Amino acid sequence: MRILLYNPDNGVTRNFMPHLWMFLLKALTPAGHEVLLIDGNAQPMDESQIAQYVREQNVGLVGIGAMTRMIAKAYRIADAIRATGVPVVMGGPHVTELADEALGRDGGPRHADAVALGEADETWPQIVNDVVNGQLKEKYAPIDDMGKERKPSLKRYPVIPWDSIDLDQFNLVPKSAAALLRKVGEGWGTFRLVPVESGRGCPYGCEFCTVTGFFGDSIRFRTNESVVNELLLLKARARKERGQMAVFFIDDNFAINVKRIKSLLRDIIAAKAQVHWVAQISANLLRDEELVDLIAASGGKWIFIGMESIDPANLKDVNKGFNKPGEYAAVLERLAQRNVYAITSFIFGMDNDTSGVAERTLAQVRTWPPGLPIFGLLTPLPATPLYKRLETSGRLTRPKHWEEFIPFAMAHTPLKITVEEAHAEVKYGWEQAYSPESLAQAVESLSNQPLGYRINIFLARLCFRGIYFPMMGKVAWLRVVAQNRHTILKLVREAFFGRKTLPASPAAQDTYGEIAAPNVPAK
């Protein structure tokens, strides 16, 4: 049987990285089936195109996975596929919490023939076999013989064949620039960000997050060996293609078990399996100097830190009091001294936010090493404690906000600012942090670092800018290129003709005086 695994876009924002679930389920599919992957972010298709594709390719089963913000599109696509007579199985965090919605048991239309609840590592092979035998059930849940929920162990993790998977749709380098960029450094003709997980679960239970409920508070890890082997496969492929293969360790908190993460990072170094990587780590775990040394030495380049707010009252409200805004600067300095930078994520529209929260946050961000600040709005996701609290207190203005996805739009009213003010704060944050001047300054602040670092921060900023200002199509890109032409020309000149070694500019020193500090040698 031919199986299509489809990940929808939401029609508005585009993801820069493929989703792991597709590769994982492909690797877990019983032998004898052919699995096709389509990510709507990379290959946008509308309902009629996907229905036609399913018919033409003679697909016998379609699996769709979606986050809440993609679910409306996922349902439309599912409806179109089901109309062709092909069964649709849906999985992922949204339908796990609202299975009745997907199955049409809440009074609305039915979108899925079956729903895989929770982690589907063990149920997916059974689903495929049931389709083959014409015995597809409505719900599949990972339970043990006693009927109790069972979280899959990651000790026997499948090998994802990264050396042979077709990754063409996930190349982030535009075709027009590939030939030129192949000549830069060790080769940038392809750039792919690949998701790898080393563990699952998070015990912290932040109020707005689905993870503790979905993956559980017991943390499970893969073996070091299996993670290291996966990195080696990726590394070999990048070398072969004269391109770049970076890894996003998608663990919710990569360093949740400090002893274990150190042992994994040491094994990566010992096996020479370093690739450039990014991971999510909470600020409280980055106090450990040895850990940060190992992060740098094992290829860590970007750490995603869910800072959420610079206001301790807000953090306490959302059960994230373990974040200490007073230590953010020190944490970021510690990383930057090893040339590791941070994606700092902030949420506006929290209950203690008042007018000017974006500027107050930016005022702090400007004193930190250059990074990638991102700004979102507090969003009540289904089945989170936040959703329940706001529902109980009658504060939800769009209780089923996922039925119509609107980017950067509140679904409830904050306490101390209006919904419109919250929207304006987010807009202000993005405009200021990603203006051509800010991009130029970020590049400039790394002027004593090798060219690769400056290209890296520039490209990363351009891509991240697209989270709020979607750059769909050539015209949008050309406009951004024109706005940032001075910085681009400077980098291109340097790539071809080399650079006069200049001291860090005053602007860079104003922003972040210590960026020119010599690299702390990694162990």
- Strand 341-348 versus strand 191-196 pairing type: unpaired
Residue type (1 letter), 141: A
Q: Which of ligand SF4, ligand B12, none does residue 19 bind (CB under 5 to 8 Å by kind)?
A: ligand B12
Is there binding between residue 98 and ligand B12 (CB under 6 A)? no
Closer residue to ligand SF4 (CB): 209 or 504: 209
Facing residues of 221 across strands? 199
Closer residue to ligand B12 (CB): 88 or 491: 88
Footprint (CB under 6 A) of ligand B12, residues 106-145: 116, 119-121, 124
Q: Which of ligand SF4, ligand B12, none does residue 131 bind (CB under 5 to 8 Å by kind)?
A: none
Interface region with ligand SF4, contact rule CB under 6 A, candidates 201-209, 332-340, 477-485, 502-510: 201-209
To ligand SF4, the closest distance from the beta carbon of 92 in angstroms equals 16
Is there binding between residue 198 and ligand SF4 (CB under 6 A)? no
To ligand SF4, the closest distance from the beta carbon of 397 in angstroms equals 23
Closer residue to ligand B12 (CB): 209 or 455: 209
3-state secondary structure of 329: helix
Is there binding between residue 251 and ligand SF4 (CB under 6 A)? no
To ligand B12, the closest distance from the beta carbon of 88 in angstroms equals 8
- Maximal CA-CA distance, the chain: 70
Enumerate residues 6+ apart whose C-beta is below 8 A from 367.
Answer: 329, 512
Is there binding between residue 282 and ligand SF4 (CB under 6 A)? yes
3-state secondary structure of 386: helix
Residue 354 to residue 351: CA distance in whole angstroms: 9
Near ligand B12 by CB under 6 A: residue from 197, 308, 317, 351? 197
Residue 357 to residue 429: CA distance in whole angstroms: 9
Is there binding between residue 64 and ligand B12 (CB under 6 A)? yes
How many C-beta atoms surround the C-beta of residue 299 within 10 A? Answer: 21
Interface region with ligand B12, contact rule CB under 6 A, candidates 63-71, 130-138, 234-242, 390-398: 63-71
Residue type (1 letter), 439: L
Residue 310 to residue 346: CA distance in whole angstroms: 8
Residue 367 to residue 314: CA distance in whole angstroms: 22
Is there binding between residue 299 and ligand SF4 (CB under 6 A)? no
Half-sphere exposure of 287 (CA within 13 A, CB side): 7
H or E, element range at 166: none
Is there binding between residue 460 and ligand B12 (CB under 6 A)? no
- Which token pair is 231? 């990195």
Nearest to 198 by CA among 175, 241, 171, 230: 230
Residue type (1 letter), 496: F
Q: What is the DSSP letter of 19?
A: -
Is there binding between residue 252 and ligand SF4 (CB under 6 A)? yes
Is there binding between residue 127 and ligand SF4 (CB under 6 A)? no
Enumerate residues 6+ apart whose C-beta is below 8 A from 15.
Answer: 9, 39, 41
Near ligand B12 by CB under 6 A: residue from 1, 20, 143, 178? 20
To ligand B12, the closest distance from the beta carbon of 208 in angstroms equals 7
Near ligand SF4 by CB under 6 A: residue from 209, 291, 295, 439? 209
Is there binding between residue 40 and ligand SF4 (CB under 6 A)? no
Near ligand B12 by CB under 6 A: residue from 376, 380, 429, 466? 376
Instruction: Give the count of residues interacting with ligand B12 (CB under 6 A).
Output: 35
To ligand B12, the closest distance from the beta carbon of 62 in angstroms equals 8
Residue 16 to residue 4: CA distance in whole angstroms: 21
Half-sphere exposure of 143 (CA within 13 A, CB side): 9
Q: Residues interacting with ligand B12, by CB under 6 A?
A: 13, 15, 17-21, 24, 63-65, 67-69, 89-94, 116, 119-121, 124, 195, 197, 209-211, 215, 250, 252, 376, 381
Q: Residues interacting with ligand SF4, by CB under 6 A?
A: 202, 204-206, 209, 211-212, 252-253, 282, 306
